[in-house]
Copies of this chain bind each other. A is one copy, B any other.
Amino acid sequence: MHNRAVSALTWSIAELAAEYDVTLRTIRFYEDRGLLSPERRGTVRIYHPRDHVRLGLILRGKRLGFSLDEISKIVTMYDEQPGEAGQLVYLLDQITKRRDELEQRRRDIDKTLEELADLESRCQADLKILRAR
């Protein structure tokens, strides 16, 4: 049963799709765009923990409203280890930009949550009035 050890650390495309609730097409599309690069055993794709993590990052990026191109840059940023100083400086600059974007988004979310809270209390007040009659 040494197959167990392998299957604990790898996924088929269908397993990955089921876990993250996306279609096979989506996963293949991400590969096409260079976001994933699974091992090939013959023609069949085998996904390793690295790919598993990357798919998680990609989908989180999507939830945050980033385009696949942006996500590609971000994810590549995460696991590349550029030894050169110029690259590091560039990367630090990119990190700052992403952080600024994310903080802007958080402000947007907070504003919206506040307004939703307002709206909610007004609704509940209206409901009370209606039900009091």
- Which A residues have a C-beta under 8 Å from some C-beta of B? 60, 63-66, 77-78, 83, 85, 88-89, 91-92, 95, 98-99, 102-106, 108-109, 111-113, 115-116, 119-120, 123-124, 126-127, 130-131
Residue among A85, A88, A103, A124 having the largest count of chain B Cβ atoms under 10 Å: A88
A20 to chain B, nearest CB (A): 14
16 interchain pairs, CB-CB under 8 A: A63-B104, A64-B65, A64-B105, A78-B115, A83-B126, A83-B130, A85-B127, A85-B130, A85-B131, A88-B127, A92-B120, A92-B124, A95-B116, A95-B123, A98-B112, A106-B109
A108 touching B77, Cβ below 8 Å: no
Given A64-B105, A85-B130, A99-B113, 10 more pairs with CB closer than 8 A: A60-B111, A63-B104, A63-B105, A64-B112, A65-B65, A83-B126, A85-B131, A92-B127, A95-B116, A98-B116
Given A85-B131, A106-B106, A131-B85, are A77 and B119 neighbors across the interface (CB < 8 Å)?
yes
Interface of A is mostly: helix
Contacts of A92 in B (CB 8 A): 120, 123-124, 127
